[in-house]
Structure 1
Amino acid sequence: MTAIEFSHQVSHLSKSLRPYALRLTKDAEDANDLLQDTLLKAFTNRDKYAEGTNIKAWMYTIMKNTFITNYQRLVRKNTFIDTSDDLYYINSTDSSTDNLALSGFVNEDIRKALVVLDESFKVPFLMYFEGFKYHEIADVLQIPIGTVKNRIHLARKELKSRLHVYEYAA
């Protein structure tokens, strides 16, 4: 494969590599940097590409490995080592404690969302949440199993809309 053919294929693949870079970095500027690093490595290591193999897979592997290397470098850079006699890591989380304040707020929001939920949806949902099977809920409430499934689905949907602020917190 000539250098011109290789350049053409690599530049053509750069369009499909950008979304992958965005998925890895979750930032447009970092994705552009990763793409640029990947293309640079591909051009400088052109001689290592085995002609006849999948160039797209080769490029994606370069990008993934570059991302991992950069990430590991960033983690090492952000880890400070205390050189005192105790030799503790400054940013170690081994000795940190969690006061559960955030979960208290979340639980309160969930409780408030459940309070305003219609009783016909709340009861089957809570029973399901407590571990009852669909057919057991249907027997206790004396309603068809399809109605139980529908009410649980609608309760989840309503709770999800009321608790949308926590969608990306997990």
Structure 2
Amino acid sequence: MKALELSSSIDQLTIALKPFALKLTKDVDEANDLLQETLLKAYSNRDKFVEGTNLKAWLYTIMRNTFITNYQRLARKNTFIDTTDSLHYINSSEHLTQNLAFSKFSLADINRAIDNLDEAYKQPFVMYFRGFKYHEIADRLHIPIGTVKNRIHIARKTLKKKLKVYASN
């Protein structure tokens, strides 16, 4: 395939690549950058494309690999490696330890609110909170699964109303 034919084929496929780029990045500007970088790599590596293979799949692979590489590079860039001998920050005001008293108050309020729920709502809610599935709760309590879902929903709604003071935290 000549360079001109490949360029023409790639240009036709860019419309199909844009939604995939958007799906990966979840941002229009980043998707455009990823698309541009993919096309640049495809043009510069056109000699590696094997004629008779799927051009669209080749471009999707380039885009996916470019996205993964960029993501890993960003993750490495944002990872701080402490090279001090004692392996901790000294006099660093960036990392502060919070006083956990507030969380103890809120946990006490949450537990009190759960304890004050009507038993019909409290039991399914607590079981769900502990990791039981809806059908397991229904089996253990000998009630229909729809009732379980309804009671958990009502318990959540009641707790949300009682604990709205913590909504902004």
Say whether the fold is shared (TM-score over 0.5): yes
The one-letter code sitting in structure 2 at the alignment partner of 1:135 is D
What SS does the aligned partner of 1:52 have? Answer: coil
Cα 1:157–1:136 change in 2 (3 A) is: closer
Matches of 1:102 and 1:27 in 2, distance apart?
Answer: 36
Q: Which residue of 1 aligns with 2:40?
A: 40
Tell me the residue number matched to 1:137. 141
| Alpha-carbon distance in structure 1 between the residues aligned to 2:30 and 2:101 | 33
Root-mean-square deviation over aligned CA pairs: 4.2
CA contact (8 A) 1:79 1:89 kept: no
CA contact (8 A) 1:117 1:155 kept: no
CA distance in 1, matches of 2:39, 2:8: 12
Q: Report the TM-score when normalising by structure 2.
A: 0.61
Paired residues in the alignment total 149
Q: Deviations over 1:11-63 (max 9, x none)?
A: 23222222222232232211111110001111111111111212222111111
Q: Mind listing any 5+ residue stretches in structure 2 that lack a counterpart? A: 90-95, 162-169
**Residues of 1 paired with 2:102 and 2:47: CA distance?**
54
Aligned position for 2:68: 68
CA distance, structure 2, for counterparts of residue 126 and residue 100 of structure 1: 24
The answer for unaligned runs of 5 or more in structure 1 is 91-95, 139-144, 164-170
Does 2:149 align with 1:153? yes
Alpha carbons 2:124, 2:152 under 8 Å: kept: no
Comparing 38-47 with 63-72, greater Cα deviation is found at: 63-72
Stretch moving more, 37-46 or 2-11: 2-11
Change (3 A) 1:120 1:75: closer
Question: Take 1:2 and 1:37, find their aligned partners in 2: how far apart are those partners?
Answer: 22
Aligned mates of 2:103, 2:50 — CA distance in 1: 53
Match of 1:53 in 2: 53
1:108, distance to aligned residue in structure 2 (A): 7.8
Residue by residue over 1:73-106, the C-alpha shift from the partner in whole angstroms, topping out at 9 and shown as x without a partner, is 223333455555x28487xxxxx97877897799
- Rounded to whole Å, the distance in 2 between the matches of 1:102 and 1:9 is 61
Q: Give the AA of the match of 2:24.
A: L
Indicate the percent of aligned positions where both proteins have the same amino acid: 53
Structure 2 CA distance, aligned partners of 1:114 and 1:97? 29
Confirm or deny that 1:8 pairs with 2:16.
no
Q: CA separation of 1:150/1:17 partners in 2, compared to 1, >3 Å: closer, same or farther?
A: same
Q: Structure 1 residues 20, 114: CA separation in 2 closer, same or farther (over 3 Å shift)? A: farther
Secondary structure of the structure 2 residue equivalent to 1:42? helix
